[in-house]
Structure 1
Amino acid sequence: MATAIIIGSGLGGIATALRLRHKGYQVTIFEQNDYAGGKLHSIEKDGYRFDLGPSLFTLPHLVDQLHDLFPDHCNSFSYIKKSVGCHYFWEDGTSFKAYSDQADFVSHASDTFAESKAVINNYLNNSKSRYNLTKSLFLEKSLHKWSTYFSINTIQAIINAPFLGLFNTLHKENEVFENPKLTQLFNRYATYNGSSPYQTPGIMSMIPHLEMGIGTYYPQNGMHRISQSLYELAVKVGIEFRFRESVTKINYKDNKATGIKTPINNYKADIIVSNMDIYPTYKKLLTDYPAPQKTLDQERSSSALIFYWGINHKFPNLDLHNILFSENYPEEFDHIFNKKSLFNDPTVYINITSKETKTDAPAGCENWFVMINAPGDYGQDWEAMIVEARKNIIAKINNCLHTDISNYISTEHVLDPRGIEKNTSSYRGALYGAASNDKFAAFLRHPNFNKGLKNLYHVGGSVHPGGGIPLCLLSAQITADLIPDVS
């Protein structure tokens, strides 16, 4: 039987393994940790359960597709659609519920921000059009194969290039709104791929369609169920997981990948897929092979500083997803990307899964995932930065919610860019690989195949099409489609 080895059991790695198993390969996944899922992991502490990683779930059909590959096995994964995508707060007392239904969103946004309904509707319709025009080219196929460019969808995207916002920044696109708060709300979508709205191209205005057009969802029993349901399925269909066995080298001969080396053994395979961040893939596993330095030198995406707080109080005015905005958004992103530091007035994201899964927190309590965008790890004094950031986050929460949150924090766990890199091998702790602060960034990402080594492929957030749950799953689809079926 043809064999395949997957390096890393992040979401992209497991999804690729399932697709290759469906193609007839015998698949083995090697993982340095003692668990599967990569960033989609969770912890329990003092009666609270916290999802450690991504907290937003869109395009759930991409997970369903993987379960549907094996209809003989029970699908243990379910989810609900949220009627409110996110709840926004500003220090002047303004708050806004972003309804998933477009008509409701437009009506409420018009009332809250004194903005024209026609302007908001037009923006959301353009978001949908841009998404539909570009998804085939940028999200569903390899950008590095000539065949991609000889399709009607690609030709349509090229013809419509001036309309796509490639030559504007996202912020410039969003200045169509008169109210700066609404501009700030839509600027926020740059963070979905770890970029700055003042640098990333306007085509990123298609991202709101994922939330407001297609919808936001919540997996029953938390985000961790995404990775765990796929891991459980993988075990059922015969995929082998070798935990706590780090890959130290990709073996090759005559420009053809032949297997891997670990501290335990050498393993041969017909196909090798690296789900490891592209930077350490070359720097640690292919040390004697010429690296694509231009690709590796790309600016890294933002990282995160996350406080996991057990809160012994209930906040009815909060939802599953909540954003408390900075009063100076440009300065915040300047600190993250140019100064490699944290701004003293950060935008704070709060995710509370106990709003949906009551058992995630003790009775009368809530589990708060409190995150701010952060630069990657460039050797900063993180211990001092964490202390200062904690103080500033608490001040932001108190100012927006009119409370003293420090009175309610009963337990705490902290994750910073150093820990993200250690746990997931993400270079500098970047959440999305390379940043998209350039209109050509999508084309500069590493392809899903290796141009120099036959039988070596790449998947995950650091390669095409990018980071985040949907893009990692699409990366797996693209990668698997490049690999031949077992004859």
Structure 2
Amino acid sequence: MSRVVVVGAGVGGLACALRLARAGHDVTVLEQGDAPGGKCARVERGGFRFDAGPSLLTMPWLVRELLGERVELLRVEPITRYRFADGSSVELSADLPVAHAALEAWSPGAGDDWLRFLGVGAAMWRGSVGVLNGPPPWPPRRPEPGVPAPDPRDLLRVRPWHTLRTLARTTLRDPRLRLVAERAATYAGADPRRAPAALAVAGYVEHAFGAWHVRGGIYRIVEALTEALGEEGVTIRTGVRAEAVALAGGAALPLDGGPLRGRGRVTGVRTSAGELPADVVVHNGDASGRGERSLSGFALMLGLRDRDPDRRHHEIRFPADYDAEFDDVFVARRPVRDPTLYLASSVVTDPGEAPDGGDNLFVLANAPVHRTAGGPDWDAAAEAYEAAVLERLAIDPARIVVRARRTPADLERQTGALGGAIYGLAPHGRLGTLRRPPNAVPGVRGLWRVGGTTHPGGGLPLVLLSGRTVAAEIDRAA
């Protein structure tokens, strides 16, 4: 068995570490922050609890297979209420007959169109599941014994000739429903006009397998992973910064946010507390590379008194000009003037997340990265932008008990993500999802990447899949 050092205690790193420890490897986890979790974070103020990062879980079997009964999963219904600039709204359920009826009542014909769109997503899922569950498809390699060769028809199922925008327009007639479909691009940090149609899979998965919350908050996944690692004898060393990966012969690869390039064999990790020997290093950090950075986000957390009885667990409020939002992010590189607002109020499903009668409202606006990656200076812009978001929400200030925020600059400082880009490189281009940095670092034996900026992508389910894939590859090579 190998000595493994996992650099970074995000969900991907923790999940990979747990699988390796259960397989008998000697594992140590390093985290430069004062707590594990990375982008999956918790904020607590005055009895209100907020998930400051991911606030929705899909593909729940990935959590169950790793953590069993350590966490309690609660189904969220309806999945989301969508509000549009014309004042209309519609709620979508994972129950197809319910969703169909709601859509038909809202816009005749929209229910049938939505079923057709989900049918396209189902075909894409069948074409993608082998890639999501296995190693990166590029560069191609011979399948393992007993594993069937890739089906070339799978590439056609993801409709590479379409962007998400053109797929929505050829499938859905109501322009408002197209916005719902295009929203899936932001799950990977992309502009729907340039995002591959394959990202429609994210929307399909949400409706096919449901939306889920974890009792006590999504951060309970981090806590449960940490507990399980402790039972396996794994040490998580917080407050320790990994500075470089040591290679045989005395060379080293700096872990300074630049691309990991070199040749040789891993021998350890140089840290702020000295050098740790290792046969294998798993880097759960930003898989940097050349290219456009993904979306970041401006998060505002509000503890409110007098909960709105009409509140839903998830709500999306679209602006009048969706294209202007992405022009602001990816072209002008400025705070979005009229952003889509994502609202999550987990207390609707999990009353323990706020004091009696209170509301833990999490608000997220799409945002360009911080100035360190070519965007605005979010430290300077934060106060004014918070005021603008509060004005858009139109909440009586007297109801606000506590508030906190997490800007792209905060995200960069807390997680090391360049510019606060949530998903690393933006997956733009019709095959953009296939161009993520691979898990195995080319030319360096024993060095691996895990997490949302490498294969198979961002979001909790894919990060968990990344941990499973990397652990399996390391175990196979041991």
TM-score, length of structure 1 as denominator length? 0.90
Residue-by-residue CA offset, 1:314-336 (whole Å, 9 max, x unaligned): 11222111111111101101111
**Aligned position for 2:223:** 228
- The Cα shift of 1:311 comes to 1.1
Is 1:427 aligned to 2:395, yes or no?
no
Letter of the structure 1 residue corresponding to residue 432 of structure 2: A
Contact 2:127 2:155 in 1 (8 A): no
Moved more, 134-143 or 368-377: 134-143
Q: Where does structure 2 lack aligned partners over 5 or more consecutive residues?
A: 250-263
- Distance across 2 between alignment mates of 1:431 and 1:334: 18
Aligned residue in 1 for 2:284:
275
1:7–1:29 CA contact under 8 A, matched in 2: yes
Q: 1:348 and 2:341 equivalent?
A: yes
Q: Equivalent residue for 1:188?
A: 183
Query: Bigger shift: 220-229 or 372-381?
Result: 372-381
1:98 aligns with 2:95: no
2:19 is aligned to 19
Q: CA deviation at 1:139?
A: 4.5
Q: Are the aligned partners of 1:113 and 1:182 in contact in 2 as well (CA < 8 Å)?
A: no
Unaligned ranges ≥5, structure 1: 69-74, 280-295, 399-403
**2:105 match:** 111
1:285 is aligned to none
State how far apart, in whole Å, the 1-side matches of 2:143 and 2:334 are.
40
Opposite residue 166 of structure 2, the aligned amino acid is: K
Aligned CA RMSD, in angstroms, stands at 2.0
Alpha-carbon distance in 2 for matches of 1:342, 1:372: 9
The answer to whether the 8 Å contact 2:31/2:236 transfers is yes
What whole-Å deviation, never above 9, does each CA across 1:269-315 have from its counterpart, x for those lacking one? 11111111123xxxxxxxxxxxxxxxx11211100001111111211
Q: State the Cα deviation string for residues 30-77 of structure 1 (Å, max 9, x = none).
A: 111121111222121122111111111011111122235xxxxxx321
1:48-447 equivalences under 5 Å are: 48-67=48-67, 75-144=69-138, 146-147=140-141, 155-156=150-151, 158-175=152-169, 176-253=171-248, 255-279=264-288, 296-378=289-371, 380-398=376-394, 404-447=395-438
Inter-CA distance 142–354: structure 2 relative to 1 (3 Å threshold): same
- In structure 2, the residue matched to 1:452 is 443
> Is contact 1:6–1:17 with CA below 8 Å preserved after alignment?
yes
C-alpha spacing 1:272/1:161, structure 2 compared with 1 (3 Å): closer
Contact 2:3 2:26 survives alignment (8 Å): yes
Per mean C-alpha deviation after superposition, the further-off stretch among 345-354 and 85-94 is 85-94
| SS in structure 1 at match of 2:220 | helix
- The Cα of 1:353 is off from its aligned counterpart by 1.5
365 and 270 in structure 1: CA distance in 2 versus 1, 3 angstrom threshold: same
What are the superposed Cα offsets for residues 206-240 of structure 1, whole Å, 9 maximum, x if unpaired?
Answer: 22111111111111111011111111111111111
8 Å Cα contact 1:12/1:475 also seen in 2:
yes
Cα distance in structure 1, aligned partners of 2:387 and 2:302: 14
Whether the aligned pair in 1 keeps the contact of 2:123 and 2:157 (CA below 8 Å) is no
Query: 1:38 and 2:38 equivalent?
Result: yes
> 2:473 is aligned with what amino acid?
L
Cα 1:137–1:428 shift into 2, 3 Å: same
- For residue 384 of structure 1, report the CA deviation from its aligned partner: 5.0
Q: Matched residues in 2 for 1:84 and 1:93: separation?
A: 19
Q: CA deviation at 1:485?
A: 5.1
Report the equivalent of 1:9. Answer: 9
Percent of counterpart pairs with the same letter? 27
TM-score if structure 2 supplies the norm length? 0.91
* Larger mean Cα displacement after TM superposition, 217-226 or 310-319: 310-319
Looking at structure 1, the residues matched to 477 and 195 of structure 2 have their Cα atoms a distance apart, in angstroms, of 41
Equivalences, count: 459
Q: Any idea what SS the aligned residue of 1:338 has?
A: helix
